[in-house]
Amino acid sequence: MNGSAADPEGAPEGASAEVRAALAAVFDPGLRADPYGPLAVLREAAPVLYDEESGTRFLTGFADCQAVLAGPDFVVPDGPWLARERPEWAARPAADFFYASLLGTNGAAHERLRGPLTAVFGPRRAVELSAGVEKVVDELLDRFEDATSDGGAADFQALVGYPLPVAVVGELIGVPRAEQERFHRLGRDAARLLEPVRSDEDWRRADTAVTALREYFTGLLRERRARPAEDLASALLARAGAAGPASARRVGERAAGPSGGRERPPAARERPPTESELPLGERELADLLLLVFVAGFETTAGLLGTAVSALLAHPEQAALLRADPGLLPGAVEEALRWDGPVLMTERLAARPTEVGGVAVPAGGSVTAVLGAANRDPRRYPDPDAFLVTRPDVHVLSFGAGPHYCFGAALARLEAAVLLGRLSTRFPRLAPAGPPVRRASACLRSFDVLPLAATG
Ligand code: HEM
């Protein structure tokens, strides 16, 4: 993938007409509302489907997707891949950013970026943010109530679905409220980088947005260096300051024993930090904040819209939730499973290997179709049913393995708070016009979701 359109004409010779039509349907903008029927056809007929045109193997089974994401044989396309395979992109600011980011690095280079983030922001910190999330949800729902108080419809995504994650991730990173609207627009353009197939227009927009956001985050870091606050920018700076070469472990230090190390043996000299211990520079810290921002709001806005829409399409499930708020976490998992925001993600074989019994050469591309995996009947009985009481749900919607979503706990929290408040404040919420889906092959989200509060 990573550049050429997935043309069903490129399906392998010998693939049945049914399989070719199903692959075409998955990428057909007109069928975006429900790609799950065609994906089920692929899963049954060709669970590892090589598509010559896009040069990737589409994986639609749960076990195969999980094995590829969590196992040691596959890596993400990274800087060396960029230089080798797409040198024409290398000068683009957006490519320079993405292929050195968490999502575009492997092994020690990836650990080096991920370590500081997880050190300063774990799942517990997400829970600590819950009071802030509740406050923002209440404010946004007040606005939604005002907008629909005359019995009319309002666009839920414009009023709640997008502003909520922008505010939450903005708060987390340290972006002041007043600047968040501009950020929303820039973030949307930068998020075009998450597309598996990027058009020239995607690149152009992403380049402009990345350049502006880099400048912004560099300025923010400078400000926080002078005046630290309670946010990710300040925490990362503090950690980067505390690290540095002086903090590299000393070889033989423990061998110095009870003497307290005063007479360290000759072996007890400083060793240079390993690659994953090298402290992050200013540009890298700015890029880290930028990635968290970009990865954190389009996806969550997608979940919020599709979760609300799924509940409206299944009133009996919404009624169960109203009757028992204890079902909220399960409802969020089911929404992630049933129509998760990230449909697919690509990996490359690090060495000759196989998946689903099919050989993959070193460097060969595979695309884990997370949305298809989440509806695999071998993993979930009656997979197309939307059931807030479904047991044993472990979704692949946040990925798996080393690149497992950093913000999963925060996204789950936002969705649970929103669904809980909606079901008590707006028990008669109803669709009020045709929704508009985001024009994307990968990110499943509503751009527009007209709802009425008193339908
Ligand atoms: C429902 C909402 C979300 C979904 C469905 C989602 C999905 C994903 C997926 C599938 C990946 C892995 C991509 C891959 O393996 O190729 C990922 C990674 C990531 N996500 Fe999320 N995400 C969501 C929300 C968030 C939030 C709220 C944040 C930040 C606060 C965030 C930050 C990240 C970051 C930084 C990575 C890169 C991790 C790495 O490569 O080590 N995400 N996300």
pLDDT of 377 over the 60 cut = yes
Ligand 1 atom 16 nearest Cα = 345
Residue nearest to atom 34 of ligand 1 (CA): 406
pTM of the model: 0.91
Please tell me if the CB atom of residue 288 comes closer than 6 angstroms to any atom of ligand 1: no
Rounded to whole angstroms, the Cα distance separating 184 from 426 reads 26
In angstroms, what CA-CA distances link 322 with 85, 161, 191? 52, 20, 34
- Residues 158, 161, 204, CA angle at the centre, nearest 5°? 70
pLDDT band for position 211 (cuts 50, 70, 90)? very high
Q: Identify which has the larger pLDDT, 184 or 244.
A: 184
| pLDDT value of position 243 | 57
Does the structure show a pLDDT above 60 at 145?
yes
Would the CB of 445 count as within 6 Å of ligand 1? no
Does 174 contact ligand 1 (Cβ within 6 A)? no
Tell me if 292 CB under 6 Å of ligand 1: yes
pLDDT band of residue 183 (cuts 50, 70, 90) is confident
CATH fold of 8-243+279-452 reads: Cytochrome p450 (1.10.630)
Q: What's the CA-to-centroid distance between 257 and ligand 1, angstroms?
A: 44
Going by CA atoms, what residue is nearest to atom 17 of ligand 1? 405
Mean pLDDT of 124-134: 86
In testing the pocket of ligand 1, which one of 339, 406, 442, 444 has its CB within 8 Å of the most ligand atoms?
A: 406
Cα angle for residues 235, 94, 67 (degrees, 5° grid): 75
Percent of the chain with pLDDT over 90: 72
Average pLDDT over residues 168-180: 87
Testing ligand 1's pocket by substitution, the residue of 128, 299, 332 carrying the most ligand atoms inside 8 A of its CB is 299
From the alpha carbon of 293, which atom of ligand 1 is closest?
29
pLDDT for residue 7:
36
Ligand 1 centroid – CA 306 distance (Å): 17
Residue 244, pLDDT score:
47
- Ligand 1 atom, smallest distance to 169 CA: 30
Residue pair 234/42 in contact (Cβ under 8 Å)? The answer is no
Q: pLDDT band for position 325 (50/70/90)? A: very high
Pick from 231-240, 338-347, 349-358: least confident: 231-240
Query: At residue 144, does pLDDT exceed 70?
Result: yes
User: Could you tell me the residue ranges of all domains in the chain?
Assistant: 8-243+279-452
* Residue 242 reports pLDDT greater than 70: no
Ligand 1 in reach of 168 Cβ (< 6 A): no
| Ligand 1 centre distance from Cα of residue 194 (Å) | 10
Mutate to test the pocket of ligand 1, among 99, 405, 418 (most ligand atoms within 8 A of CB): 405
Whose alpha carbon is nearest atom 11 of ligand 1? Answer: 405
pLDDT in the model for residue 10:
40
- Our CA angle for 360, 72, 332, nearest 5°, is 100
Give the span between the Cα atoms of 36 and 374, in whole angstroms.
10
3-state secondary structure of 389: coil
* Structure confidence at residue 6 as a pLDDT band (50, 70, 90): very low
Alpha-carbon distance of 6 to 55, in angstroms, equals 8
Q: What is the pLDDT of residues 56-85, one digit of tens each?
A: 999 999 999 999 999 999 999 999 999 999
